[in-house]
Amino acid sequence: MIAEAVERSLFLIDPETGAIFHLAAIGAATWDLLASRDLDATTDLLAQAFPDTPRATIAADVTALVDDLVARGLLITEPAPGRSLAKGV
Amino acid sequence: MAVAMTLRARKADNHRMLAFAGLARPVAFSGCEPVIAHLDALLPSWPIGEAGGEDGTPVIALARTHAGFALASPWTRPPQPFADPLDAACALIVDLVHAHAADNPATLCLHAAAADLGDGATLFPCPHGAGKSTLVVALAARDRTVFADDVLALAPPDDVLRFAPSGDLLRLAPSGDVAVAFGIAPRPRLPLPPGVGFGPLRAGPGTRHYRYLSLKPTLLAPFGATAPARRFVILDRVDDATGARLTRAGADDILKSLIPRNFGPGRDAVAIFARLRHLVEDAERARLVYGDCDAAADTLIAAFGS
């Protein structure tokens, strides 16, 4: 998987299938955070960045994004303790 | 119209094998003169001739049936029936573009409209229903050349030769893809939006769902014509809006719209992305929010026309 940042977006390119996926600004930021944090820590940081949005809403959005990325094979779960996800790049 | 005259001269033939420029294999027509008769209006500049025997098996086959016509190709499976010869000709054009893309792997193919506002191609990479065909008709009515109303190719340009101030002839390495026209007559869907008409343009063949336009040669870029991609404009039609206004669009906005429009056979997504990104980042970028097609055309010409 190749990730290309263009302005505020991220394009994820799968050379195997030829598919190209687009993540808008928030999705791109979430992707970057997930590279070095687990789901809870990513949600915490986003909640700090968007204090007017309930944490539960952010958590639901992040979970939905992660579920979608995993379903598309763009993210893989990581079995190691302390970090639940690993970027599939 | 030498092409049309040549095609019509063989009207008595029942089985035809026609060679289309850019395709490695011919197209077979069996009892399809009513379809062929439309080609000079729909493809006024695509070079077409009788295929020689050495061209091999047809890549597309169109045959008369008891109910009309049937089209078969690698892109139309199973074969599709058409009662109206014009509908069959429309479907044939779609497959011709697919065949051209397959036989020219260095090109990309885009579902996009484009017009020359005076300095090259302005591309509108938008999905069906965004109003791109109607907009290029409005631009043609204002004497701007239609480059495409639905599909065009992107290809690496030939080397460019320029004279340096010293008088030396320089061969410049081209920096990116150029837009390539197929020369297909524009085909707006009917009915046209309220207040929009063909103006001084001449209507060609059509049905109650769409109508081709018969543009004079200066208003329709011919098959194979190339132009630099000067700008990309996303169309954002708002039905209850009036007027038109241009706003900035990011390179990511344009790429998000452009990438799904590519339907070429190329499988190297990394290379395709790099080409499209280079093209987009080198071009002007805008979003056109409009409710009125005439205002949209006037706004584009006022902003970018030369």
Instruction: Please state the domain extents for chain A.
Output: 2-87
Considering the segment(s) A2-87 as one domain, its CATH architecture is: Orthogonal Bundle (1.10)
Residue B169: band (very low, low, confident or very high) from pLDDT cuts 50, 70, 90: low
Residue B55: band (very low, low, confident or very high) from pLDDT cuts 50, 70, 90: low
Instruction: Please give the pLDDT value at position A6.
Output: 97
Q: Do A15 and B269 touch (CB under 8 A)?
A: yes
Residues constituting chain B: 306
Q: Do B255 and A9 touch (CB under 8 A)?
A: yes
- Would you call A40 an interface residue with chain B, using a CB distance cutoff of 8 Å? no
Task: Show which residues on chain B lie within 8 Å of chain A, measured between beta carbons.
Answer: 250-252, 255-256, 259, 267-270, 272-273, 277
Instruction: Please give the pLDDT value at position A74.
Output: 84
Report ipTM for this prediction. Answer: 0.81
- Would you call A11 an interface residue with chain B, using a CB distance cutoff of 8 Å? yes
For residues A41-64, give the mean pLDDT: 94
Mean pLDDT of chain B: 89
Instruction: Please give the pLDDT value at position B160.
Output: 55
For residues A41-57, give the mean pLDDT: 94
- Between CA A1 and CA B11 the distance in angstroms is 55
Q: Do B252 and A7 touch (CB under 8 A)?
A: yes
Q: Do A9 and B250 touch (CB under 8 A)?
A: yes
Through-space distance between the first and last CA atoms of chain A, rounded to whole angstroms: 5
Instruction: Please give the pLDDT value at position B239.
Output: 78
Q: Is residue B194 over pLDDT 90? A: no
pLDDT, tens only, B202-240:
889 999 999 999 999 999 999 999 999 999 999 999 877
**Maximum average pLDDT range among A61-70, B33-42, B183-192:** B33-42
* Of residues A87 and B54, more confidently modeled: B54
* Count of other CB atoms within 10 angstroms of residue B63: 15
* DSSP run (H or E) holding A67: helix A55-71
Instruction: Please give the pLDDT value at position B91.
Output: 97
Q: Which residues of A touch B248 (CB under 8 A)?
A: none
Q: Which of B256, B268, B269 sits opposite A22 (nearest CB)?
A: B256
**Maximum average pLDDT range among A26-35, B48-57, B195-204:** A26-35
**How do strand B284-290 and strand B244-248 relate by DSSP bridges?**
antiparallel
Q: Which of B255, B269, B272 sits opposite A6 (nearest CB)?
A: B255
Mean pLDDT of chain A: 86
Q: Do B252 and A20 touch (CB under 8 A)?
A: no
Q: Is residue B171 over pLDDT 70? A: no
Domain residue spans in chain B? 2-103, 108-304
**Helical segments of chain B, H only:** 2-9, 33-42, 85-103, 132-140, 251-258, 269-281, 293-304
Q: Do B273 and A20 touch (CB under 8 A)?
A: yes
| Residue with tokens 């006022």, as numbered in its chain | B302
